[in-house]
Structure 1
């Protein structure tokens, strides 16, 4: 028992001793921790700095003499000093009542130079790199800069470019940084292959995407540059193309771009699955919102039963329903389409569900990435602003508008939560692109006009303000033209495109007299719907006629010469309906224009004139890319006081009915001078097709056509002169055309052969000019 007591006492004593030791150690440990977390120093000493002032370093740390600090303050101070970019190493130690801050200064860049670059200018490269003169030198940053330069050359089709760096040490801790660039050869796209397509040919799909195969004029358009981002955008273009033509199951299986190192050419292969083609089945509207009548909403639908299924038509229907609901006082109404496929009949029935959406408001619209385009140019394409009800449909519409401007390489709109649960931040990310264009126009007439050419420079986004400016100079053997145009697309903050055109023309091609015309037009265009717009204009012109010595003319022309200069002051109004899918090469849609003009607001001209034209395009073969065109037009002019002046009458010719000279048909005096008419009608039927023996990348197409036209009537003081062609007499021609979609714009060569004409008409087999016929 005593032995056990002794043992118990020994254990107890040992335990107490250990507790004392542990307790003492704990006091020591916790005491040091508290001291580390709540230290105070009286002096901050800076070491290692040569160029950076000590006070600057002290000002960039959070620790102050006489103020408690802890380890977090030390960590934050180290981070702040590194963030200045001035130091390669920073340490902070406490020694008694002194804080020691030791730094290793970065070298300072004296100069950044680029050697070997020709395709990308120094200023462009300077904007790419982060290494700047008078900034800190960082080896890591220089490596990133070299990679950024390499990527810039990749984007212009020079994947072989190499970038190396040289650093030259100077006195005083300074260095020069040189980027040595070997631009290499231009990387081209040899072939673009499509695999799996049955409904559309390779050539038709090649027209859809923005990436093009390399050709002899590719250096002008730069569309043959391989870019992964651009190829991804091409995939989206293909999806839209198929989805809007009935292929709701379309998908892209794979896309590959293989570079041949020997030829330095890419081979791009896009494998796709078209799926079946669908038409719209039953179209219904259902509404859970008490105040919205589903039957009444149906009139706003763009999708129709039996038509080829189109995702775009569904989108238009959603927008129309949402706008109608908002107009009725339901801005938060949400429209959701529900499709039901009938695989047997290959139809898709669509039901538009209208529900009360979540109440949310736009807190702000944040614009990012626009280095050139002003913020307000982007904001004005939105139908909503800060504080308005958030509507996803209007966001999608704004995106389409921004893409249609042609100012940006890419447009991406996303949303983020706002400061409150019912607030939304709209984030718009854009990427600016070049918007200036140099254009060349040319024409040739076998008649008196001869060859003509026009050089123009235009800018669609002048100074980033969205304004359009164009300056053009043209002429030929007998003509000179000078034009200047300016358009402000948002006049006075409204969606009104206001502008003016100034033009001067000198024409010496007429028989026995010259014409000099100076004119100015002020115009305002306003959209009525997405497809309909109207244009109101004021037109002023002065025409001066200078006869050659000894020349004689018929009474109407002599009267115009005697009353020279002739001033016309008029107003005109046009209404335009446009559903054309592509202005450069229309394949589908309608373009119609009707214009009325009243002259008599001062000046010498006194008349009322009405002209109209409508063109309808439709694919005749999707796979063969064969396009049909039917066009009709007409015009009428009448004097409001006395007789018309000869040059105020209507004139048509080879521009309207090919196979004839300009002003080649209609009333004509015995001297052969065209006198014009009061009424005309014309019609055209044309079939366009790709030329099978040539690659589609050349941009060449052929066409066959048939034209018909008549010009007749008279409101002139003929003075007893004999005039032919006052009665309605139809002319007709047939022919063939060669159309070239060049980097300078579309051109066409027409070979027209009259099959019905009058003996006094002036014919012309060959005509060369621009392809636009709107």
Structure 2
């Protein structure tokens, strides 16, 4: 095969340097041989002829151009050496020799070979396509040893990012005929270097376990085969520094510092021991909150009302930033250009308070000349530009630029997004440069689900979050299960009509065949919706729904035979259900208002979520009702943020507007997620005179849940936490309560309660939740459920 001794490139380079040095030495020796030692440096030479030898592809004139030696010109030894260096520095030749021979200068060269093929050997964890993209050397180009070394370093870095610090990459060349070589990168991947222990020094307010949850890097545990974040990556520690600093700052520790990060490598265990030394400082709270200004006609008190910061609250930089944003936007609405709200913070060390004065001042008159966007090969410019609240010609606001950069990163379309401002073409102008690097935004998902309620299910879905580069979302999902199946098509335009207005269209088909009920349902329809913000934390959704709702296969009560005894039995469903067995067309408009403080995260230890919605059916169709639902959730972390307390209250009411009343597909049922300890369709009005005792649902429902989630003392990387809960709720109220033989169904309010424990496991297959519940108060006909497991994942 003509192998060139199989030498590594580093050895070959050394040999090349020896050859070059030897050539120069011979040339200089020849020069020195022609002159006495004391006159060698000053001796001049005059060559009447220059002969080029060894060149195959490079033209002799090109080589003479590099040498810059003319026939008949007098040359000193230094000039001859300079000519030699110019030829070498051209990078075209593997060896160069200048040999004076009387009045003739012989330039003897050996050209670098041509790369025939490039191959990668020894790789298993990274495929050839991924590694070839990192290689700058190209076939049918002149071989460049410097580029080959750079390619090897790039491949090694790709392995290092994945925690394989011991990976080695050796470039080798194999000689072929016609001065060609095959370039081979030999890879020894090595083992993944894990973080065996992640510990902290100097932390008093928060435990190691709590701080580990903040970091992106994780400790290696029992699930090290599946957890990828426990590999040691030096760059990830830089991110961890920022995350840890933000964590402490948002909790009032403004003097927090990271004194050092010590990464100790244990070679015998092929693992790192990472120790982060911190200095927490004291926790500060907000003191006096004031506003001031020297600008004429500006009412500082009007701006102060927008701060919405209470004295005594734990200091949060984000709360200050949000207050500044509100004030500067108010200034824009009032036509006050270039007005900035500058927070002036003074420390009260004795009381551990930070007094904040929002000083309104006029900033420099700087305008945005233009916004330049680069790197978006697929994403349209307008998708990026609409993340800016400013356009060309608007006053420049650095805070708005930073906020726009965060919004661009939050899109999820780019693996990297940098936004910077630079001087414009004239004084008072700036140019905003946006440099992005796109990443895949589509996914094809094959998923599985399991619960003790609905059994095993399969999900097949396709989603594209940046459809045609327009920032639109297109998705299609098919879900099948033991008791239900569904298909849904969704399309979302996040900036409908060029505004912060999200337009959504859903087309759906759903069927159900529950074991707990002797009837089937089928729903097919579509629903367009518009969602827009009404405040910093509030959003409003307006929607329309047109669907055909079918109740079928209701048991008509004909006698049947018991398969075991052969005796005649009655299998009839409730007359209430039999009267509801029909197709109905539902045409409804509705809205939902949501208020979520988690959008801002001003208080990282507490959050409030509130939803209120109504649907009005009767704009055509057969159904006529008003359906109202409300939900409120309050969550807080206590005991050094180790324990999460959560309280949930929700309820709903549906009122029929015609004599047909509501149907079982319209009424409320409580799921096991709403009321643990009871089976699906297990509570609420039930016709006990019917042989199958079908659940009928109710026009009213209310539920309250209290729960706590806490660590179990196990390593955080295992992903196991415990919980306790108390649930209470009921479903009641029917218009049609006449069952068998004129007996009325009990539709009164009957409170059900249950207590239990939970085990939360963030498993490699997805989040698992195990609930063990005990019903405390129930009706005789209720169906209870002691254990519930739910799982949903994609693979």
Q: So what's the TM-score if we normalise by structure 2?
A: 0.80
Q: In the alignment, does 2:182 pair up with 1:187?
A: no
How has the CA–CA distance of structure 1 residues 253 and 304 changed in structure 2, closer, same or farther, with 3 Å as cutoff? same
Q: Which residue of 2 aligns with 1:708?
A: 728
Answer with 492-501 or 644-653: which moved more. 492-501
* Distance in 2 (alpha carbons) for counterparts of 1:411 and 1:445: 44
Distance 2:372 2:86 in 1: 29
Answer yes or no: is 1:533 the counterpart of 2:542: no
C-alpha displacement at 1:614, in angstroms? 0.8
Deviations 1:350-372 (A, max 9, x none): 11112111111122333456677
> Does 2:516 align with 1:496?
no
Secondary structure at 1:556 match in 2: helix
1:640 counterpart = 2:647? no
Give per-residue Cα distances to partners, 1:39-89, cap 9 Å, x unaligned.
xxxxxx9998754789999999xxxxxxxxxxxxxxxxx999999987789
Pair 1:676–1:312, CA change in 2 (3 A): same
Describe the SS at the equivalent of 1:668: coil
Please say if residues 611 and 634 of structure 1, whose CA atoms lie closer than 8 Å, have aligned partners that are also in contact.
yes
Is the CA contact (8 Å cut-off) linking 2:554 and 2:573 kept in structure 1?
A: no
Which residue does 2:640 correspond to in 1?
A: 622
> Aligned residue for 1:111?
117
Q: Is 1:552 aligned to 2:572, yes or no?
A: yes
Partner residue, 2:79: none
The answer for the alignment partner of 1:520 in structure 2 is: 526
Q: Which residue of 2 aligns with 1:426?
A: 432
Aligned to 1:594: 612
Q: Which residue of 2 aligns with 1:73?
A: none
Show the counterpart of 1:656.
674
- SS for the counterpart of 1:317 is helix
Q: 1:358 to 1:181 in 2, by over 3 A?
A: same
CA RMSD, aligned part only?
3.7
Rounded Cα–Cα distance in structure 2 between residues aligned with 1:171 and 1:230: 47
Name the SS of the counterpart of 1:125 in structure 2. Answer: helix
- Which of residues 738, 757, 771 is equivalent to 2:759? 738
* Match in the other structure for 2:512: 507
Hey, what does 2:717 align to over in structure 1?
697
CA apart distance, 1:407:
4.1
Instruction: Report the Cα distance in structure 2 between the residues aligned to 1:768 and 1:325, rounded to whole angstroms.
Output: 54
Select between 105-114 and 596-605 the one with higher mean Cα deviation. Answer: 105-114
Q: Give 1:361's aligned residue.
A: 367
- Asked if 1:417 is matched to 2:423, the reply is yes
Kept after mapping to 2: 8 A contact 1:634/1:680? yes
Matches within 5 A, 1:406-485: 406-430=412-436, 432=438, 440=447, 442-445=449-452, 449-452=454-457, 454=459, 458-461=463-466, 465-485=470-490
CA contact (8 A) 1:724 1:760 kept: no
Q: Is the 8 A contact 1:712 1:728 kept in 2?
A: yes
Structure 1 match to 2:568: none
Does structure 1 retain, via aligned residues, the 8 Å contact 2:120–2:184?
yes
- 2:345 — aligned with what? 339
| Higher mean C-alpha displacement, 519-528 vs 344-353 | 519-528
Paired with 1:331 and 1:48, the residues of 2 have a C-alpha distance of 73
Measured after TM superposition, the shift of residue 288 of structure 1 is 2.5
Partners in 1 of 2:612 and 2:423 — Cα distance? 48
Verify the 8 A CA contact 2:331 2:337 in the aligned structure 1: yes
Q: Which residue of 2 aligns with 1:676?
A: 697
Deviation of the 1:103 alpha carbon? 9.6
Shift of 1:328: 1.3
Matched with 2:129 is: 123
Deviations along 1:645-678, whole A, 9 cap, x unmatched?
A: 2321222242211111112221111232111111
Return the match for 1:575 from 593, 596, 601.
Answer: 593
Q: Secondary structure at the match of 1:648?
A: coil
1:454 CA drift (Å):
4.5
- Measured after TM superposition, the shift of residue 509 of structure 1 is 2.0
The secondary structure found in structure 1 opposite 2:325 is helix
Distance in 2 of aligned mates of 1:82 and 1:390: 52
Confirm or deny: 8 A CA contact 2:739 2:745 kept in the other structure.
no
Question: Does the CA contact (< 8 Å) of 2:265 and 2:271 recur in 1?
Answer: yes
Change (3 A) 1:171 1:512: same
The one-character-per-residue Cα deviations of 1:215-252 (angstroms, maximum 9, x if unpaired) are 44455552223322221111111111111111111111
Task: Give the counterpart of 1:393 among 395, 399, 410.
Answer: 399
Please give the secondary structure, in 2, of the residue aligned with 1:192: strand
Alignment of 1:70-469 (within 5 A): 106-218=112-224, 220=226, 222-368=228-374, 375-430=381-436, 432=438, 440=447, 442-445=449-452, 449-452=454-457, 454=459, 458-461=463-466, 465-469=470-474
Distance 1:119 1:767, change over 3 A: same
- Rounded to whole Å, the distance in 2 between the matches of 1:123 and 1:696 is 36
* Residues 343 and 174 of structure 1: CA distance in aligned 2, closer, same or farther (over 3 Å): same
My pick for the range that moved more, 711-720 or 638-647, is 711-720
1:751 corresponds in structure 2 to 772
Return the offset for 1:611.
Answer: 0.4
1:36-51 to structure 2, matched below 5 A, reads 50-51=56-57
Contact 1:649/1:678 (8 A) holds in 2: yes
The farther-off stretch of 270-279 and 548-557 is 548-557
| Counterparts in 2 of 1:744 and 1:668: CA distance versus 1, 3 Å | same
For 1:337 and 1:601, locate their aligned partners in 2 and report how far apart those are by CA, in whole Å.
53
Structure 2 unaligned regions, length at least 5: 1-50, 67-83, 98-106, 559-570
Stretch deviating more after TM superposition (178-187 or 573-582): 573-582
- TM-score relative to the length of structure 1: 0.82
Aligned length: 700
- Pick closer, same or farther for the CA change 1:581–1:192 going to 2, 3 Å: farther
- Whether the aligned pair in 2 keeps the contact of 1:533 and 1:575 (CA below 8 Å) is yes
**Higher deviation after alignment, 213-222 or 431-440:** 431-440
| 2-structure distance, mates of 1:597, 1:286 | 47
**Closer, same or farther in 2 for the Cα pair 1:121/1:678, shift >3 Å?**
same
Gaps of 5+ in 1: 1-44, 61-77, 92-100
Structure 1's 382 and 329: CA in aligned 2 closer, same or farther, altered over 3 A? same
CA deviations 1:605-663 (Å, max 9, x no partner) are 2211110101000112125x111111111111111222222321222242211111112
* Paired position in structure 1 for 2:8: none
Conserved? CA contact 1:280–1:307, under 8 Å: yes
